[in-house]
Amino acid sequence: MRVQELAATVADLDDAAHIDAIRALEDLKSACAAAQARITAEFDATRTNPAGLGAEIALARRESPNRGGRHLGFARAMQEMPHTLALLESGELNEWRATLLVRETACLTKEDRAVIDQEFCADPAVLAGLGDRAIETKARARAAQLDAEAVVRRARKAVADRHVSIRPAPDTMTYVTALLPVAEGVAVWANLKRDADSLVGTGQAGDRTRGQVMADLLVERITSVDNADAQPVTVNVVISDETLFGGGAAPAHVDGYGDIPAPIARNWIKNAVTKDVAELRRLYANPTTGALTNLESVARCFPKGLARFIDIRDKVCRTPWCDAPIRHRDHIEPHENGGETTELNGAGLCAACNYAKQAPGWSAEPEEASGLHQYNFTTPSGHTYRSTAPPLPLPAKKRARTRQVEIDIVWAA
């Protein structure tokens, strides 16, 4: 039965039946997650070479390779947690709550993990009615009781994961997130809050709120606008000439962020040009498709110009459903098999996707296409997927040859 038909069969029923149907479908989703976990574990057990396995699962589930790896880890954990798997199968636990139990017991031995599985999930009444947070807290507390040493080791290891990341927020805002050890994280926040409080308290903050002052202080301190020794950094923007000079509406693309609306980009660039900190470079794209035009080289490593070309053309990792930033310019057809170092045979990939692709049984070949750059790749299970490069911003009026403009804005010089 197709999903639409399923929805239609309950369309004429009363309220109680609607709610019953919603519950039944929710149970079905959990049961599907359990079935996927079982099948993934079987797939894992029969495959002799585990390399790239997570990436294959990700492609099948239309998710990023990172998520694919987590699904694989989840499936393996379910083998050690049969009662949790049973609750997932019956719909008593959903996939996320089962994932929380896996995550909070990941640092434990197989035996201790089995204790929590038994205590929490053998009887469905134990976790009945508990929300995400309650389940997480309960599992964490029990894990600490069973093996405090392991929890401490895990905390120490987590410090190694500290990092800073950026992702787009609505309305052309952005989240810059730092994952820090708790003491340092609290220190950063308390420091900003103390100084913001003081500026607000002495009337030096103008009409800014405390939150706004904290955000401004963060930017000032990190980009060191007042610090003469500060090294300038570059923000890379790709924009169509029509948008830049002709008032066009096509958005501009900012490296590390994504698309920003035309008026904001124009303003930004105008300010940078006025302050003499912008460097403009011209790029050319096909006016109909937005495909960046060709470049060629015979070197083994992608030369700087070609690497830059691939980065601008591909924007993010070329694996479908993977949004990770480009870390490697990969030869689609390997160099040792005669693959050329060209725009056609090059693709921008994140590190994980590049390693997955090098595993035995993976193959890829570029496809000569008149429009956007394309290549096909085949996984060890014999499934073929296609990757298509995103189009560049197009101008409002199409001309014979459209000029794109790439702009490096030196930030905080």
In the complex with Zn ion, the residue whose CB is nearer, 143 or 317, is 317
Q: Does residue 99 interact with Zn ion by CB under 5 A?
A: no
Binds Zn ion by CB under 5 A, chosen from 40, 243, 319, 341:
319
In the complex with Zn ion, the residue whose CB is nearer, 289 or 388, is 388
The nearest distance, CB 324 to Zn ion, in angstroms, is 5
Binds Zn ion by CB under 5 A, chosen from 88, 322, 356, 364:
322
CA distance 407 to 22: 51
Site for Zn ion in 15-34 (CB under 5 A): none
The nearest distance, CB 383 to Zn ion, in angstroms, is 17
Residue 349 has phi, psi (to 5 degrees) of -130, 155
The nearest distance, CB 384 to Zn ion, in angstroms, is 17
Stretch that binds Zn ion, among 214-222, 254-262, 271-279, 322-330 (CB under 5 A): 322-330
Stretch that binds Zn ion, among 154-162, 232-240, 285-293, 352-360 (CB under 5 A): 352-360
In the complex with Zn ion, the residue whose CB is nearer, 188 or 324, is 324
The nearest distance, CB 305 to Zn ion, in angstroms, is 23
The nearest distance, CB 332 to Zn ion, in angstroms, is 14
Binds Zn ion by CB under 5 A, chosen from 350, 394, 405, 409:
350
Q: What angle do CA 25, 74, 384 make, to 5 degrees?
A: 80
CA distance 353 to 317: 8
H or E segment and range at residue 407: strand 402-411
Q: Does residue 364 interact with Zn ion by CB under 5 A?
A: no
The nearest distance, CB 375 to Zn ion, in angstroms, is 14
Query: DSSP string covering 316-384, please?
Result: S--STT--PPP-EEEESS-GGGT--SBSTTEEEE-HHHHHHHHSTT-EEEEE--SSS-EEEEE-TTS-E
* CB under 8 A, 24+ apart: contacts of 39-42: 40/71, 40/72, 40/74, 40/75, 41/75, 41/76, 41/78, 41/79
Q: Does residue 59 interact with Zn ion by CB under 5 A?
A: no
CA distance 185 to 215: 15
In the complex with Zn ion, the residue whose CB is nearer, 54 or 395, is 54
Binds Zn ion by CB under 5 A, chosen from 75, 269, 353, 364:
353
Site for Zn ion in 212-251 (CB under 5 A): none
The nearest distance, CB 357 to Zn ion, in angstroms, is 9
Total residues at interface with Zn ion (CB under 5 A): 6
| Nearest to 341, CA basis, from 311, 385, 303, 289 | 303
What stretches of 47-109 show up as alpha helix (H) in DSSP? 53-60, 65-80, 82-90, 95-104
Cα dihedral 413, 219, 257, 52 sign: positive
Tokens of 322: 């993977």
Burial class (CB in 10 A: 0-12, 13-18, 19+), 137: middle
In the complex with Zn ion, the residue whose CB is nearer, 85 or 310, is 310
Binds Zn ion by CB under 5 A, chosen from 59, 60, 151, 317:
317
Can you tell me whether residue 261 is helix, strand or coil?
coil
In the complex with Zn ion, the residue whose CB is nearer, 58 or 151, is 58
The nearest distance, CB 321 to Zn ion, in angstroms, is 9
CA distance 352 to 72: 15
The answer to whether 251 touches 237, Cβ cutoff 8 Å, is: no
The nearest distance, CB 21 to Zn ion, in angstroms, is 38
Binds Zn ion by CB under 5 A, chosen from 10, 150, 307, 324:
324
The nearest distance, CB 327 to Zn ion, in angstroms, is 9
Stretch that binds Zn ion, among 114-122, 236-244, 301-309, 347-355 (CB under 5 A): 347-355
In the complex with Zn ion, the residue whose CB is nearer, 199 or 317, is 317
CA distance 409 to 276: 9
- CA dihedral 349→352→358→361, nearest 10 degrees, is -110
Terminal Cα distance for the chain, rounded: 62
In the complex with Zn ion, the residue whose CB is nearer, 113 or 318, is 318
Q: Rule CB under 5 A: which residues touch Zn ion?
A: 317, 319, 322, 324, 350, 353
